[in-house]
Amino acid sequence: MKKILLISANTEKGPILYPIGLGYIHSGLIQKNYDAGILDLAHNEYSKECIFNYLREYNPDYIGISIRNLDNCCYRHPLSFANQIKQLVDWIGEWRSQTVIFIGGSAFSLLPESWLKFLNVNYGIIGDGTNSIPALVENLEKGIVFPKIPGLAYFKNERCIKYQADSGNSFRNINPSRDGFIHKLISGEKVRHNILSKRGCNYKCIFCAYHVLEGNKIIEREPQSVIDEIIEMIEKHNIYEFDFVDSVFNNPQKHAEEICRLIIENGLKVSWKCFLNPYNCSKDFLSLLKQAGCKHVELGIDTASDKMIRLMKKGFKKQDVCECIKNCNAVGLAYDVCLLFGCPGETIETVKETLELMDKLNVNELFGLIGIRILPHTEIFNTFTKGFNEDDLLLPKFYMSPEVEPKDIINVFNEKFKNNHPNWMIV
C-alpha cells in the first residue's frame, strides 16, 4: 500500500491551529484504504534535519503540502511565507528527487498557477481535496500522469491546466481526522481545534476572497451532523474546546440557532468561539449562543463609518454594529472587534468616526490592520489596482487609500485612544 504524507506548512504558533483541511483529506484517504499521515510543522522544529528525520522514518511515496497563508497580511511589517515553502519543497527534493509532490490549501487555491511556477512541483489541488487527492493518487498508480480530476492543476507543454474545483460538499458526509499525526503534539501547547458547520459566503465585501475559496453559495451541514462530530471529539479525543470556523457563523442565523439548541438539548458541556456578522444579533440570539457554550465572538465589522460601510459593501448598518455590541455587553458575552483601515475612500475622518464609536461603546478588545492585502478576483484587485497581475500577488501587495497616511492613523490612535484602551491594538 502506497504511503501519503500530508504536511501542514504553517509554522505559526500563536496559537497553534488544528489543520482542518488536512484532517478532511486524511479521512478521505483512510476511507480509500491508503496509508496516510499528517506532519504538522507548527508542532515541530522547522529545520532540514527535522524534516529529513520524518521523511526517512515515514518514507512516503507521495507528499502533499498545505499552504494556509500567503503572508502575515501586515502592510507596515510584511512577512511572506513563499520562500519558506520553497525551501521545504527543495528539502524534499534533496531527500528524494523523484518524489511526487502536490500542493493545496487556501493560499494555493487563490494563486494556483503562480504557486506551481514558483515551486516547480508536479500538481496542485484547488479547493476541497477530500475526494480529489485520493483520485489523483489512484490515477498516478495506474500510470495516468495527466488525469482529469476536479480542482487539479498542473503544467503541460508550458501551459497551466486547471479543472473546476470540487463542489465542496464532501464535508457534509465525513468528519476530519484528528488522530492522523505521525508525531506527538507539543506537550503543554494548546491547540485550537475547529469545526466547519457550513461553507461559502454570499456577502460582497470588496477586499475579501472567501467567495473564491468557498464559493458564494452557502452549503450547510445538517445540524445533527455537527453535533455528532462534537460528540466524537469529546468521546474519542477529550476535546471540549473549539472554534466554529465558518466565515460567518450566523449566516444563515436559523442554522446557527439549531446547532446551539442541539448542543443544549444534548447536554454538551463545551466551550467555543465563532465569527459573527453584527446584523440581527439580538439579546435572545446572543443569550442562546452563551447558553450553548459560546465564550467569545469575533465581530469582523472592519469599519463603523457610514461611508466606509457602504463603500466596503459590508451588508449591515452602523446601527447594527451599535446594537450588536450593546447586546453582547448586556448578556455578558465576551467579544473582540476587528477593523481594517485603508479601503478606497478611507480618510482620517472615517478612521476617527470608527474609533470614536468604538470608544463610545466601550469596546474592550479591538484589533485593527492598516492596509488591505490585495487578493485575486476581489473588487479591490479588479477595480483599484491597475498594472498588477496575479503573479505579483504571491508576495505581499497592499492597497492603501491615497486619502490617508498610515502614520496619521497611528498618531490618532496613540494620541486619543491608546491610553484609555490597553486592549486595543492597531498595526
- pLDDT tens per residue across span 346-358: 999 999 999 999 9
Give the per-residue pLDDT at 188.
Answer: 54
| pLDDT score recorded for residue 389 | 85
Instruction: Judge if 150 and 240 occupy the same domain.
Output: no
CATH number, domain containing residue 372: 3.20.20.70
Is residue 186 predicted with pLDDT exceeding 70?
A: no
- 180 occurs within a structural domain: no
CA 407 – CA 59 distance, rounded (Å)? 51
- Does any domain span residue 252? yes
Under DSSP, the state recorded for 378 is S
Burial of residue 72, with CB atoms counted within 10 A of its CB: 0-12 exposed, 13-18 middle, 19 or more buried: middle
The yes-or-no verdict on residue 386 having pLDDT over 90 is no
16-50 pLDDT per residue, tens: 899 999 999 999 999 999 999 999 999 998 999 99
Whether 29 and 87 map to the same domain: the answer is yes
Largest CA distance in the chain: 66
Residues 48, 224: contact at Cβ < 8 Å?
Answer: no
For cell 500500500, what's the residue? 1
- In angstroms, the Cα distances linking 82 to 86, 114, 244 are 6, 11, 28
Provide the domain count of the chain. 2
Helices H, strands E: what count in the chain?
Answer: 15, 20
Per the structure, the complete domain to which residue 114 belongs is given by: 3-162
- Final residue belonging to a domain, choices 120, 143, 162: 162
SS3 142: coil
Domain match, 236 and 143 both: no
Question: Distance between alpha carbon 390 and the CA centroid of its chain, in Å?
Answer: 20
Q: Quick check: is 380 in a domain?
A: yes
> Does residue 172 lie in a domain region?
no
199 with 103, same domain: the answer is no
- Residue 142: inside a domain: yes
CA 362 to chain centre: 29
In a domain, 121, yes or no: yes
The reply to whether 137 and 198 lie within a common domain is no
- 124 and 19 in one domain? yes
Cβ neighbour number for residue 385 with a 10 Å cutoff? 17
**370 versus 12: which is more confidently predicted?**
370
Are 137 and 228 members of one domain? no
Distances (CA, A) of 338 to 138, 193, 207: 44, 21, 14
> What is the Cα Rg of the chain in Å?
22
Mean pLDDT of 118-137: 97
Look up the pTM and report it. Answer: 0.95
Residues 207 and 336 in one domain: yes
Q: How does the average pLDDT of the chain come out, rounded?
A: 96
Please indicate, yes or no, whether residues 8 and 151 belong to a single structural domain of this protein.
yes
Give residue 162's pLDDT.
Answer: 97
- Residue 91 lies inside a defined structural domain of this protein: yes
Note the pLDDT of residue 241: 96
Where residue 113 sits, what CATH number does that domain have?
3.40.50.280
158 and 209 share one domain: no
Q: Are residues 228 and 336 in the same domain?
A: yes
Dist CA 305 CA 288 (whole Å): 29
* Of 142, 162, 182, the domain-final residue: 162
Q: What confidence score (pLDDT) does residue 167 get? A: 84
Let me know if residue 286 belongs to a domain.
yes
Do residues 383 and 286 both lie within one domain?
yes
